[in-house]
Structure 1
């Protein structure tokens, strides 16, 4: 084909526009050079993590900042101002992290640093000090200056704000790269855990996982005490299904039961509402998939972060999650991380730092984000840059069918069923069964559960499928149908380590009679 001069010029123009668009799109990406790595110079672990994070992510050596501060979890407001905020501001001035513009609407020019990642052994909580309530009186929750260190550092460059209660987050619920937003705040994340092994895993694993992307099951545990929280989780449930991720939904009023055989391919968990980790998250045989994002909504989920068995944030990280969130003091529900926004932005390909702070309505308050700020777990899925892998093939197949068929469920399910029969794949059969259950076709769901049972690869999967068969029965015939099959399923699970999950479900439906009065 011959090209005339006009067509050649138009071709050059198109190429120029594409190049300009690509440059603009990349110009606002959060990069390693935009991150300052903050560590406790008194802690060998903290120093080691900082060096390793800089190596793994390619952060310039000049972006490492050592603080001389206590490693206590909770500090005073004065200690925060003198030992954390003041040294960071001094470093920012010396290294010209930004240049003040003198313009209120855009106070920073030539900005270099946009995110802070805090290493282990840095304080997490600023206690309430002024005014101290009189004896017998509780602190007014809305007139307290206690806060998470991380949430205060989000306002590192801002002066003169009220320390009591919170400050609105201008980045909340946005859909734009933070680097191009022009906002004067910082994205703050933390890498920490109960053990050195966990801390070091959080430094290295996310960068490795994102090379192929995060694949696996999503688990949503709704049924908490307030409609608002359930609405967030319902939105997560809808979003992951739209994104082509197979999902298990627990909609009992209680959390997942003791010894529930949660898949070890769980990559995303969102649930609520208990004070301490329970159910499958106390099972020593359970771990999340590497790179997993796991969040449990509770007022004090990170308050006792360094105490084993207390709260949720550290417990989820110890179970293999690489990303979680938490609160160090009472935040009130409306001032917690919005799990629906967090999940949506991650699935849109944003970094953990951006997604988490888009999901946080307030600053100078109680929220903490644990995870690599540069981690983009779903970027490959979003960018259609998927590299087929043997271990992920069923999850990738589920996603690919979603991309190909969209809302054409009958066509999509036929293709998936064909793939499940060829494999044969217990995973695909199970995902199909659950999807039919959500689509109010429990009879078909029950048939597919039994197809999945034929190829169940291990005792954990078999137990979960048996429990899911009861969910299909219950969806068809209510609690009566559940109880009719209860004994036969109990017999099949009689020697299973996961039998307590079945017994807990049974007790919820048919509570045992109270003990006789003495």
Structure 2
């Protein structure tokens, strides 16, 4: 058994995580018109030990989008009245003449499925003959927003709703309960169906007990290569990959444009970050694909959360439908520099912060378009030190992490120990991880050797085919077209029965496209 890997089963190293969230400081909102919404609120409260008196029901329309007037009259004002009635806060007038919260019992607000997610722009059109407004300026100045982002400012009356407000928690590195800020952190348990939402809660609670272990997949696609305005997104994804690699998390990084091909063969995917397709694509088109329990998966796109019900449209709903426990998104066009900063988000998660803390630490603006979906209290990396409940399915990934902690500055010894363990345990995972590390260090020959060895140890044809795709990727990157084509064509013959083989065909169409049909002679 994998647990025989004795050198990796030593006591965990010391690891200081941020303080536990205070469940008494969490308020849960649900829609009284939709029975499933209240049931979901109670399920979540029980799962996290949140007092029943912290649940708040609001009578709301059954729709995802509301007007600004509806938001004010149906959500903001009734909820503020509940805070007053329950004596959850104290507010006073600030120097600008606005009513502002200066003390509160509640710090985190959780919206259940049934609470609308979008506030629609309702400002009048410009007068006839007015000069055209640049598109970027339109988005910067509009009053559309995510309901959750507006609720973060619930304690402040009279702030301008046109455009965005600076987020005072952006890039902080301290628990929100200690930050002393006059805002709320607002998360959402929402998705394609109520069963999906219940599964998100259960998966977060279960994964938090063991820690989140598995593969990371970073799909960069080099959007900034030909567009300097998009360079920031590439930079975030590169930094995210580096963060995972530094922690000993095996990380597959794809830098080819476009994004990963349809049905790309993935397994044990616990972390996914990519961009920039309008609708779900790549590995997630495969009906057989499922994320690992507790997975955090995010695709950067302006309208990734424009709807949360259709599992084939945009990104947030499909990723949750495929088994992710948490994701980030945008309900309208946020502009790239005002989306979640992936680098900050992942670093804060890895440090042990909650999902909602990491999301708000990475969001530059409030009263804006950003949303975080999943159990806000979820801490996927609470056991990154190797502690937590042990499961056999996680053993290889735990071994990789602990090896990284034991020999952080001695890669030769780390590789030696992992290779010995891989052969003893017949672990393709460990050899694949070593191959990915070599690939990132631009050592393609060593990477290919490890992928070939991993292929001999994997039992699943899907995993074997992934090794072929990784070897072909090395040759593509090294401009060895003939070698890449041969590997992909051989794979097509060997794995013709696999749905995943579509990925090889898509790459072949890029690197070795068929000749155009002969021209029809003119009569």
Give me the TM-score of the superposition, normalised by structure 1.
Answer: 0.91
- Per-residue deviation, 1:444: 1.5
Aligned 1:430-441 pairs, distance under 5 A: 430-441=432-443
- Per-residue deviation, 1:110: 4.6
In structure 2, what is the equivalent of residue 510 of structure 1?
Answer: 512
CA contact (8 A) 2:193 2:309 kept: no
| Separation in structure 1 between the aligned mates of residue 514 and residue 244 of structure 2, nearest angstrom | 37
- Per-residue deviation, 1:204: 2.3
Where 2:29 maps in the other structure, the secondary structure is strand
Where 2:104 maps in the other structure, the secondary structure is coil
The counterpart of 2:355, out of the listed 352, 355, 363, is 352
In structure 1, what is the equivalent of residue 117 of structure 2?
Answer: 124
| Separation in structure 1 between the aligned mates of residue 389 and residue 45 of structure 2, nearest angstrom | 27
- Per-residue deviation, 1:477: 5.2
Aligned 1:125-274 pairs, distance under 5 A: 125-133=118-126, 140-225=138-223, 226-263=230-267, 265-274=268-277
Where 1:447 maps in the other structure, the secondary structure is helix
| Separation in structure 2 between the aligned mates of residue 292 and residue 77 of structure 1, nearest angstrom | 34
CA contact (8 A) 1:38 1:66 kept: yes
Q: Flag structure 2 segments of 5+ consecutive residues without an equivalent.
A: 1-15, 224-229
- Per-residue deviation, 1:59: 0.3
CA contact (8 A) 1:29 1:179 kept: no
1:235-265 deviation digits (Å, cap 9, x = unpaired): 00000011111111111111110111111x1
| Separation in structure 2 between the aligned mates of residue 349 and residue 447 of structure 1, nearest angstrom | 35
Where 1:248 maps in the other structure, the secondary structure is strand
1:434-493 deviation digits (Å, cap 9, x = unpaired): 111112221111111121111212121111112112223344553343234443333223
- Per-residue deviation, 1:232: 0.2
Change (3 A) 1:135 1:339: farther
Matched, 1:372 2:375: yes
| Separation in structure 2 between the aligned mates of residue 61 and residue 251 of structure 1, nearest angstrom | 48
| Separation in structure 2 between the aligned mates of residue 398 and residue 46 of structure 1, nearest angstrom | 41
| Separation in structure 2 between the aligned mates of residue 210 and residue 312 of structure 1, nearest angstrom | 24
In structure 2, what is the equivalent of residue 415 of structure 1?
Answer: 417
The counterpart of 1:30, out of the listed 3, 6, 21, is 21
Change (3 A) 1:147 1:397: same
| Separation in structure 1 between the aligned mates of residue 423 and residue 166 of structure 2, nearest angstrom | 53
| Separation in structure 1 between the aligned mates of residue 463 and residue 378 of structure 2, nearest angstrom | 30
Matched, 1:113 2:89: no
Q: Figure out how many residues of one structure are paired with residues of the other and give that number.
A: 492
| Separation in structure 1 between the aligned mates of residue 311 and residue 515 of structure 2, nearest angstrom | 35
Matched, 1:338 2:336: no
| Separation in structure 1 between the aligned mates of residue 478 and residue 311 of structure 2, nearest angstrom | 42
The counterpart of 2:481, out of the listed 473, 479, 482, is 479
In structure 2, what is the equivalent of residue 72 of structure 1?
Answer: 63
Matched, 1:466 2:457: no
In structure 2, what is the equivalent of residue 495 of structure 1?
Answer: 497
CA contact (8 A) 2:100 2:156 kept: no
Two-structure CA RMSD over aligned residues (Å) = 2.1
CA contact (8 A) 2:278 2:303 kept: yes
Q: Flag structure 1 segments of 5+ consecutive residues without an equivalent.
A: 1-21
- Per-residue deviation, 1:294: 0.2
In structure 2, what is the equivalent of residue 278 of structure 1?
Answer: 281
| Separation in structure 2 between the aligned mates of residue 262 and residue 37 of structure 1, nearest angstrom | 36
- Per-residue deviation, 1:144: 1.0
More relative contact order, 1 or 2 (CA 8 Å, 6+ apart): 2
The counterpart of 1:454, out of the listed 448, 456, 463, is 456
| Separation in structure 1 between the aligned mates of residue 280 and residue 89 of structure 2, nearest angstrom | 42
CA contact (8 A) 1:260 1:501 kept: yes
| Separation in structure 2 between the aligned mates of residue 211 and residue 104 of structure 1, nearest angstrom | 46
CA contact (8 A) 2:305 2:331 kept: yes
CA contact (8 A) 1:443 1:476 kept: no
